[in-house]
């Protein structure tokens, strides 16, 4: 008798829980509002194989040991091809900014820099020809 009563109570409880779950599935679910700002130390976009294809990073200031040249803190945006080569670079520091476009190989490139008080545009072709433009 006690077992039958216990089984009946458990069965009713299970039916109640099943009903609650079923009605919850009918209620539309709304995603939370996206945050207004995404904050991170760096951002990487990867392809289906996990290879980084685009990145935005803040590089700390550093001193290049052999020459002693100081490089300021720099923000760098890179677009990277399937072989891992950065084809597009866009950088900014306290000294200025620059844009680099690389062709099929490193010999083919376009470099636009605005540093300190000067602006330069340098173009190099695959055959080694180079042109430098300055105002």
User: With the C-alpha atoms ordered 111, 106, 123, 62, is the resulting torsion angle positive or negative?
Assistant: positive
Distances (CA, A) of 59 to 67, 69, 116: 19, 16, 19
Please work out, in degrees rounded to the nearest 5, the angle formed at the alpha carbon of residue 133 by the alpha carbons of 131 and 135.
165
Q: Please tell me whether residue 117 adopts helix, strand or coil conformation.
A: coil
pLDDT 10s digits, 67-90: 888 889 999 999 999 988 999 999
| DSSP-H helix ranges across the chain | 2-26
pLDDT of residue 1: 58
What is the maximum span of the chain, computed from C-alpha positions, in angstroms? Answer: 100
Which element (helix H / strand E) includes 52?
strand 52-59
Better-scored residue on pLDDT, 31 or 60: 60
Global pTM value: 0.67
């Amino acid at each position: 008798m006690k077992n039958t009563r216990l089984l009946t109570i458990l069965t009713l409880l299970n039916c109640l829980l099943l009903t609650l779950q079923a009605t919850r599935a009918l209620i539309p679910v709304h995603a939370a509002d996206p945050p207004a700002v995404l904050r991170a130390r760096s951002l990487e976009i990867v392809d289906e194989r996990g290879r980084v294809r685009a990145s935005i990073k803040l590089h700390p200031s550093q001193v290049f040991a052999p020459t002693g040249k100081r490089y300021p803190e720099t923000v760098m945006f890179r677009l990277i091809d399937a072989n891992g080569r950065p084809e597009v670079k866009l950088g900014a520091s306290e000294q200025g900014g620059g844009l680099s476009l690389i062709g099929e190989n490193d010999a083919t490139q376009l470099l636009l820099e605005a540093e300190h008080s000067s602006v330069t545009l340098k173009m190099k072709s695959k055959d080694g020809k180079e042109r430098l433009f300055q105002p």
